[in-house]
Structure 1
Amino acid sequence: MRIHHVGICVPDVEKALDFYTRVLGFRQEETINIGGVNYYFVGDGNISIEIEPSHAPGSNSHDNGIGHIALAVDDLEVLAERLRQEKITFLVPPSQFRPDRKIAFIEDPQGIRLQLIQFLE
């Protein structure tokens, strides 16, 4: 398991994109539209940051700050079964998110949201 990206919720997406790209030198990797909300990924080749609007209608984002930590996993179904045995509740159950990946969302015991991603070959 490894950290794939960190998702941050911001009140001003354009200002955040400018800071991470122009000031810090990250490059814009991709933009994903889900339910009419754009999620922007910037990175430097080692880490990616997902920038999402805080409190956007139709999104699951929340207050400003870290929205979630995304962990890349080898086998989401195996991990999901272990989580179920531990009585962990899924915020979003394992599902095929895109043709190339499966995702799920849980919270750790302190309420930190974790996205679990399995990249499919």
Structure 2
Amino acid sequence: MRIHITSVFVDDQEKAERFYTDVLGFVKKHDVPLGTDRWLTMVSPEDPEGTELLLEPSRHPVVRAYKTGLAKDGIPAASFAVDDVPAEFDRLRALGVEFTQDPLEMGPSTTAVLDDTCGNLIQIVHVK
């Protein structure tokens, strides 16, 4: 069994697409119109056949409370692996990304948490 698709709920798919591609560096895999929304998935350019990230519209009634609760408690909606957290933190900060947690070493892991501009906190992590 493998993870095929995972999702983050986004308030605006166009804005999310720009952030996840132009800022985070993901590549669009699928973009299928579905009424007013899209089946919009991203992949890592390092693993184009790997796990897809679905930028899922936040229209379901429970999503607002879910996203608000996670963000209020500082809980990331997703975690992305990077090779060097401090370097990625500096790169993203230079692009204007806001972080809620600066790089922090925790045993074998280093993490930082950013705001994806779409209502989610996203963790970047490197495990030694």
State the TM-score bracket (shorter-chain normalisation): 0.3 to 0.5
TM-score by length of 2: 0.42
Higher helix share: 2
Higher strand share: 1
TM-score by length of 1: 0.44
